Structures are given as C-alpha cells and as structure tokens.
Amino acid sequence: MQHSPPITVSSLDTARLYRLLDREAYRHQPGADALRDELDRATTVAPADMPPGVVTMNSTVRFIDDSNGATFELKLVYPETSGVSGTVSVLAPIGSALLGLSVGQAIPWQVPGGRQITVRVLDVLMQPEAMGDYVS
C-alpha cells in the first residue's frame, strides 16, 4: 500500500497470524496476501511492550471511514470467531487495515469492488495487552 503508516504488531499476534496464513483453509483467502504484506512490514514487539493505543488482535477499536465519515466500533478477531455482531475478521479488508495502527493513524486501503478508502483509528477502547492479557 502506498503511504502506509508504520504499524506495530505483537510477537504473539505475528506468530499466530503467520500460522493461520500457512493453513490451507486460509492461504488463498482474498485478504491473505494483504495481511501477509502488513505482517511483513510491521515492527514486532513483545506483548508486554505493546503501547496501549495500538490495535492488536481481540482489541475493540473505534474508527472512521474518511471517505464517507461513517464511524464504527468493532472487535478485531481471528476468522474462526468472526461473524458475530460487533466483530471483524483480520482477513477482512478493514480488519487487516486496522491491525497495528495507533490512535490517530490513517491508512488508505483497497476494498472489494476496487474502491479505495482511508481508515483512521479514533480510539482503542479495549486492548488485551493493556489489561495485562498477553495470551488472548
């Protein structure tokens, strides 16, 4: 992605997500390449060193689609637990865009239909690492 901001991902999330992407069921999903690209460019830190304003797996985040002003509050989850109201899979375009962003950061992202949006993080309402949960 052009003009992508720096992102931070925990070593635990990185390891889990690479394992997920290596599984046959997910290897060829439409969002797999975009997620792998994000993981490849991320700065990796230990879960205990994760700054509290960063979107990690199982974080609840409030963000805005700058292209239309719509705001959303969603929990970033693994594909197996997505589909529940209020969640977004990390393999969904918005999910992989949010992973690793900090409050205030924005990223341009391609969504289905060929259109590009800009997603901006307004707040990380709940982050497991900030609560001392380093294994979620």
User: How far, CA to CA in Å, does 25 sit from each of 28, 29, 116?
Assistant: 7, 8, 27
Beta-carbon count within 10 A of 8 CB: 20
Q: What is the tens place of the pLDDT at every residue in 9-32?
A: 999 999 999 999 999 999 888 889
Q: Say if residues 108 and 2 touch (Cβ distance below 8 Å).
A: yes
Region label for 79, one of left (φ > 0), alpha (ψ between -120 and 50) or beta (otherwise) = alpha
Beta-carbon count within 10 A of 135 CB: 7
pLDDT of residue 1: 42
How far apart CA 134 and CA 136 sit, in angstroms, is 6
Amino acid present at 114: G
Q: What is the tens place of the pLDDT at every residue in 78-89?
A: 999 998 999 999
